[in-house]
Chain A
Amino acid sequence: MSQAVLPRGRPRRGAQVALTILALVIAVGAYILVGLGRRGNVPVTLALYGSIFAVGYAAAALVIRRFAPAADPVLFPTAAVLTGLGFAMIFRLSGGLAAEQATWVAVGITAFCLTLVLVRDHRQLDAYTYTIGLIGIVLLLLPIVPGIGRTINGARLWVRIGPIGFQPSEIGKVLIVVFLASYLNQKRELLRVATGGIGPLRLPPAKHLMPVLLAWGASLAVLFIQRDLGASLLYFGIFVVMLWVATGRIAYLLIGLLLFAAGAAIGYAIFDHVQLRVDVWLRALDPDKVFDLGYGQLAQAQFGMATGGLVGVGLGRGSPGLIPFASTDFIFAAIGEELGLLGTVGVLLLYVVLVGKGLRAALACPDGFGRLLATGLSAAVALQTFVIVGGVTRVIPLTGVTLPFVSYGGSSLVSNFVLLALLVRISAGPAPTRPRRGG
């Protein structure tokens, strides 16, 4: 493919509007179907939630049109469908959680719009490499601070200050990708230089290997101190991928894999909960184990998806309440039960589209920073989806991360909308300096 087939800067308003309306119809439609499936009538909250989605999506479309008219017309609508499906599923599981999630959808879209308005050009961010990096690291490690950190479900991921609780690592994730894009873009040439080698591997000098080792150490710290397997895997994966893309050195990828394997082995050797995760993964359906708590939870997710079969039992008509953590870690299984294989593959294809469009934005971006940033953000979405869906479906051991845009959770939703805004910004290029007229 050549640059010629990756047009950039040409406004595609029609597609953007049509797809956003389609996303709104799917989102509100799924939510109405949940009401019909559960109680046989349209949900009484239709006016409230329907208008949140209608106003929110319309606002986002207007902001895109005003501040990023050349944006990829598929990016926002794809995330909007995922958000809507996730909301319908959360509404199906719990009216209370749905009220919170609706609030977070509103906050998330506001954050999306603010990001597009404030970040007129993604290169603005390149100026604050270390500030952003520092904030990112602080956010990541904030839950460790005594007094404000909270341990929920065995992992120390939460911060609670007064009445507001949030998962700082979610927003930290975005900042760290921004930092890495900026840092790696600056050091790209240095890191490319290969002086020595082990066998066929050509390695850069030891001092340039430091960042890899540092990231590895940070990931292990997240794993050891916060006991957050999923985030640890995710950060390290994002880092290695970005390092490889920045330098083109396959050696980083291989070293990264080796270090990851070593980290995993160490984690397995010294942590009971890591050993348990692996055993649960392998033996979730083992007749001797399936009645035990952890095993049974993963087994229930399998049962739910199996119940859904090809076409699902219908929105609002299954029993996803039997699946533990159905609104967060296991929401994919709940979707599998009610929407079947058609639903789960549909959701996965939406991520393929989202990630594909993100990478396409990366390829079309003329500057190295933007290109690395779009790549890192896209990879973050893809890896996070793989980690949680792979965990739920037993491809890999289950580690608790959210399913982007779909899972219940404010921090996750808001940070993913910020991430999406950055991708939209990169796909659109700098905002027009004058307000556009007409349309």
Chain B
Amino acid sequence: MERQVRQLAVALLVLFVVLIAQVSYVQVFAAERLAENPANAKRQLIAEYEVARGSILAADRRTVLAASRRSAGDLRFLRRYTAGPLYAHLTGYYSFVFGRSELEQAYNDFLAGTAPQLLPQTFADMVLGRPRRGASIVTTIDPVVQRAAQVALGDLPGGVVAIDPRTGNVLALVANPSFDPNPLSSHDPEEIRTTWEALNADPEKPLVSRASDELYPPGSTFKIVVAAAALENGYGPDSTWPNPSELDLPDTVETLENFGGATCSGGSQITLADALRQSCNVVFGEIGLTLGPAALAEQAWAFGFAPTAMTGDVDFDIPFQEGIFPDPTYFVTRRPAVALSAIGQDNVAANPMQMGLVAAAIANGGVLMRPRLVTEVRGADGRVIETYEPEAYSRPMSPENAALLAAMMVDVVQNGTGAAAQIPGVSVAGKTGTAQHGEGQAPHAWFVSFAPAENPQVAVAVIVLDGGSLGSDATGGQVAAPIAKAVMEAALNG
């Protein structure tokens, strides 16, 4: 019997060895695969919310755009956006039902603490049994400018972008309507779904940023792109162009008229600078036809425009829809469209972010800096993990031509359609736009600007949807220019 007991001991020990091998397999070797099983959603969720997710900070490193707080429920941390809708299109939301958007999505690896750069710290946390902590990101957003843009835009539908032309730093990015990311980021699935459905049912589409996601005809603001193309192709500010009351469009009986059907002042010939100051559609139609679609496209693309909505390549920290200027082949059978495109109509499209980049490139001596929203990633212990330096995206103009165009744009504000953007003691460069976008609808009011002209520190682009009147191109300036002015003042005083 003794021999059997000993053999039994060995046999039972083998059973336990099998169990130990299997738990090792389940808990260590297969753990990662099990963690990713689709049926493991609840644990994945809990694991995700275990993390003290990093904050999203403004450029001043004090203003908190998004932060995580301890929560009493099953999920350990709750995401809070204390300013509500103010930064919503920058931070995005953080929802366990509908995922993440904007910076919450783009920098999720850092915020959630899963980026490989954070391994030393997260490993230390694991060993010490502390919850994993995410890194914080420092943005370029200036809360003063952002708040000023929000106040200036008020309840008007539209968008505002402010960019530091020297670095590409985005100082403000505001769109109306916005949304409150808090209910979408709550722990209550019912609240999240209700909010989500309401936001998606809203015809104003609050989740989509009118400053950087949607596209609108840029109207007369696109004339600065055409003027840049003229300068780059050898036509100076004083080059003269015929100044009729209307332009016969090729291959058709249609004509192109100035806004309100008037003739620009200055006689039968008009200079490029004068035509920009008065925003003469007829003259810019001529210039477009003279330069041709290839030259226009090349200039627009250098400013960041793309041939189609799918092909933009401006690298921005959050999703950005670049403006559109069609491929020259598009115009082969549509020659009138060249003249219409030169005044920012037909298939040309842009948004405040795109037009802000155009203004910033002109302001920065012809060099377009890549737009930048995040400058720094800091670990939970305050250590700098990553820094992002300013970098040039393209050189759409020579410094000389940029200076000439800037002077022409100063003239627009001092003596032309952009008078509403004048700031005492500061030379402001700008261009108005009143973009038609449908029969019987009030046109969009645009203003694109930068200041101070001799030493630019901020470029601002504004769109107010349906904000202009069909009567005069200056109405765009009257509605949008004061908003741009307020934002520039905030940036320059800050």
Of the listed stretches A96-104, A162-170, A306-314, chain B binds A306-314
Please state if B26 and A363 are interface contacts (CB–CB under 8 Å).
Answer: no
- Given A241-B8, A359-B8, A393-B23, verify A306-B30 contact (CB < 8 Å): yes
B333 within 8 A of A: no
A294 within 8 A of B: no
Please state if B1 and A372 are interface contacts (CB–CB under 8 Å).
Answer: yes
In the assembled complex, how far is the CB of residue A191 from the closest CB belonging to chain B, in whole angstroms? Answer: 12
Please state if B5 and A307 are interface contacts (CB–CB under 8 Å).
Answer: no
- Chain B residues lying within 8 Å of A287, measured Cβ to Cβ, are 38
Please state if A322 and B42 are interface contacts (CB–CB under 8 Å).
Answer: yes
In the assembled complex, how far is the CB of residue A386 from the closest CB belonging to chain B, in whole angstroms? Answer: 5
A241 to B46, CA, bound (A): 45
Please state if B1 and A368 are interface contacts (CB–CB under 8 Å).
Answer: yes
Of A307, A309, A368, A394, which is in contact with the most chain B CB atoms at under 10 Å from its CB?
A307
Please state if B46 and A319 are interface contacts (CB–CB under 8 Å).
Answer: yes
A149 to B286, CA, bound (A): 98
A368 to B1, CA, bound (A): 8
In the assembled complex, how far is the CB of residue A223 from the closest CB belonging to chain B, in whole angstroms? Answer: 21
Least CB separation from A185: chain B residue: B1
- Chain B residues lying within 8 Å of A352, measured Cβ to Cβ, are 13, 16
Please state if B6 and A363 are interface contacts (CB–CB under 8 Å).
Answer: yes
A344 within 8 A of B: yes
**Contact digits for A357-385, partner B, Cβ 8 Å, 1 yes 0 no:** 00100110000100110010011001101
- Given A296-B39, A382-B12, verify A309-B27 contact (CB < 8 Å): yes
Least CB separation from B131: chain A residue: A317
A395 to B43, CA, bound (A): 23
Q: Which residues of A, 378-406, contact B by the 8 Å Cβ criterion?
A: 378-379, 382-383, 385-386, 389-390, 393-395
A303 within 8 A of B: yes
In the assembled complex, how far is the CB of residue B247 from the closest CB belonging to chain A, in whole angstroms? Answer: 65
- Given A319-B74, A322-B43, A382-B15, verify A348-B4 contact (CB < 8 Å): no
A383 to B8, CA, bound (A): 11
- Given A290-B39, A303-B35, A395-B22, verify A386-B16 contact (CB < 8 Å): yes
**Contact digits for A297-311, partner B, Cβ 8 Å, 1 yes 0 no:** 001101111111110
Q: Which residues of B, 3-49, contact A by the 8 Å Cβ criterion?
A: 3-6, 8-9, 12-13, 15-16, 18-20, 22-24, 26-28, 30-32, 34-35, 37-40, 42-43, 46-47
- Chain A residues lying within 8 Å of B32, measured Cβ to Cβ, are 306
Please state if B15 and A307 are interface contacts (CB–CB under 8 Å).
Answer: no
A314 to B26, CA, bound (A): 18
- Given A303-B40, A395-B18, verify A310-B74 contact (CB < 8 Å): no
Please state if A248 and B19 are interface contacts (CB–CB under 8 Å).
Answer: no
Query: Which range holds the interface residue count of chain B?
Result: 35 or more
Please state if B6 and A389 are interface contacts (CB–CB under 8 Å).
Answer: no
- Chain A residues lying within 8 Å of B26, measured Cβ to Cβ, are 302, 305-306, 336, 393-394
- Chain A residues lying within 8 Å of B35, measured Cβ to Cβ, are 303, 306-307
Of B3, B19, B31, B38, which is in contact with the most chain A CB atoms at under 10 Å from its CB?
B19
Please state if A359 and B46 are interface contacts (CB–CB under 8 Å).
Answer: no
- Chain B residues lying within 8 Å of A87, measured Cβ to Cβ, are none
Please state if B23 and A344 are interface contacts (CB–CB under 8 Å).
Answer: yes
A194 within 8 A of B: no
Query: Which range holds the interface residue count of chain A?
Result: 35 or more
In the assembled complex, how far is the CB of residue B48 from the closest CB belonging to chain A, in whole angstroms? Answer: 12
A246 within 8 A of B: yes
A251 within 8 A of B: no
Q: Which residues of B, 289-315, contact A by the 8 Å Cβ criterion?
A: none
Least CB separation from A390: chain B residue: B19
B2 within 8 A of A: yes
**Contact digits for B250-290, partner A, Cβ 8 Å, 1 yes 0 no:** 00000000000000000000000000000000000000000
Of A1, A306, A307, A340, which is in contact with the most chain B CB atoms at under 10 Å from its CB?
A306
Please state if B38 and A386 are interface contacts (CB–CB under 8 Å).
Answer: no
Least CB separation from A382: chain B residue: B12
- Given A246-B1, A371-B1, verify A389-B19 contact (CB < 8 Å): yes
A246 to B3, CA, bound (A): 11
Please state if B19 and A285 are interface contacts (CB–CB under 8 Å).
Answer: no
B129 within 8 A of A: yes
A21 within 8 A of B: no
- Given A310-B28, A322-B42, verify A363-B5 contact (CB < 8 Å): yes
In the assembled complex, how far is the CB of residue B32 from the closest CB belonging to chain A, in whole angstroms? Answer: 8
- Chain B residues lying within 8 Å of A215, measured Cβ to Cβ, are none
A348 to B20, CA, bound (A): 7
Please state if B43 and A319 are interface contacts (CB–CB under 8 Å).
Answer: yes
- Chain B residues lying within 8 Å of A355, measured Cβ to Cβ, are 9, 12
A291 within 8 A of B: yes
Please state if B39 and A299 are interface contacts (CB–CB under 8 Å).
Answer: yes
- Chain A residues lying within 8 Å of B22, measured Cβ to Cβ, are 390, 393-395
- Given A322-B42, A368-B1, A375-B5, verify A341-B28 contact (CB < 8 Å): yes
A264 to B69, CA, bound (A): 55
Q: Which residues of B, 143-175, contact A by the 8 Å Cβ criterion?
A: none
A302 to B1, CA, bound (A): 40
In the assembled complex, how far is the CB of residue A4 from the closest CB belonging to chain B, in whole angstroms? Answer: 14
- Given A306-B31, A309-B28, A309-B31, verify A290-B23 contact (CB < 8 Å): no
Least CB separation from B30: chain A residue: A306
- Chain A residues lying within 8 Å of B16, measured Cβ to Cβ, are 348, 351-352, 382, 385-386
A107 within 8 A of B: no
In the assembled complex, how far is the CB of residue A361 from the closest CB belonging to chain B, in whole angstroms? Answer: 10
Q: Which residues of A, 1-16, contact B by the 8 Å Cβ criterion?
A: 1
In the assembled complex, how far is the CB of residue A29 from the closest CB belonging to chain B, in whole angstroms? Answer: 16
A345 within 8 A of B: yes
- Given A248-B4, A291-B39, A307-B35, verify A356-B9 contact (CB < 8 Å): yes
In the assembled complex, how far is the CB of residue B158 from the closest CB belonging to chain A, in whole angstroms? Answer: 46
Please state if B3 and A248 are interface contacts (CB–CB under 8 Å).
Answer: yes
- Chain B residues lying within 8 Å of A385, measured Cβ to Cβ, are 16, 19
Partner of B27, one of A300, A306, A359, A368: A306
A239 within 8 A of B: no
A359 to B13, CA, bound (A): 12
In the assembled complex, how far is the CB of residue A119 from the closest CB belonging to chain B, in whole angstroms? Answer: 22
Please state if A379 and B8 are interface contacts (CB–CB under 8 Å).
Answer: yes
Please state if A305 and B23 are interface contacts (CB–CB under 8 Å).
Answer: yes
Please state if A303 and B37 are interface contacts (CB–CB under 8 Å).
Answer: yes
- Chain B residues lying within 8 Å of A383, measured Cβ to Cβ, are 12
- Given A299-B39, A314-B129, A393-B22, verify A386-B15 contact (CB < 8 Å): yes
Q: Which residues of B, 207-259, contact A by the 8 Å Cβ criterion?
A: none
- Chain A residues lying within 8 Å of B20, measured Cβ to Cβ, are 345, 348
Q: Which residues of B, 393-422, contact A by the 8 Å Cβ criterion?
A: none
A304 to B74, CA, bound (A): 15
A314 to B131, CA, bound (A): 11
**Contact digits for A404-435, partner B, Cβ 8 Å, 1 yes 0 no:** 00000000000000000000000000000000
Q: Which residues of A, 239-290, contact B by the 8 Å Cβ criterion?
A: 241, 244-246, 248, 285, 287, 290
Please state if B19 and A386 are interface contacts (CB–CB under 8 Å).
Answer: yes
- Chain B residues lying within 8 Å of A368, measured Cβ to Cβ, are 1
In the assembled complex, how far is the CB of residue B186 from the closest CB belonging to chain A, in whole angstroms? Answer: 19
A305 to B42, CA, bound (A): 14
In the assembled complex, how far is the CB of residue A48 from the closest CB belonging to chain B, in whole angstroms? Answer: 26
Q: 6 closest pairs, A vs B, by CB?
A: A306-B34, A306-B31, A290-B39, A245-B4, A341-B27, A382-B12
26 contacts between A and B (CB under 8 A): A244-B4, A248-B4, A287-B38, A290-B37, A300-B39, A302-B34, A303-B37, A303-B39, A306-B35, A309-B27, A314-B129, A341-B27, A345-B20, A345-B23, A345-B24, A348-B19, A348-B20, A363-B6, A368-B1, A375-B5, A375-B8, A379-B12, A386-B19, A390-B22, A393-B19, A394-B22
Interface residues of B (CB under 8 A from A): 1-6, 8-9, 12-13, 15-16, 18-20, 22-24, 26-28, 30-32, 34-35, 37-40, 42-43, 46-47, 74, 129
Given A356-B13, A363-B6, 13 more A-B residue pairs with CB atoms under 8 Å apart are A299-B40, A303-B39, A306-B26, A322-B43, A344-B27, A345-B24, A375-B5, A375-B8, A379-B8, A382-B16, A390-B15, A393-B19, A395-B18
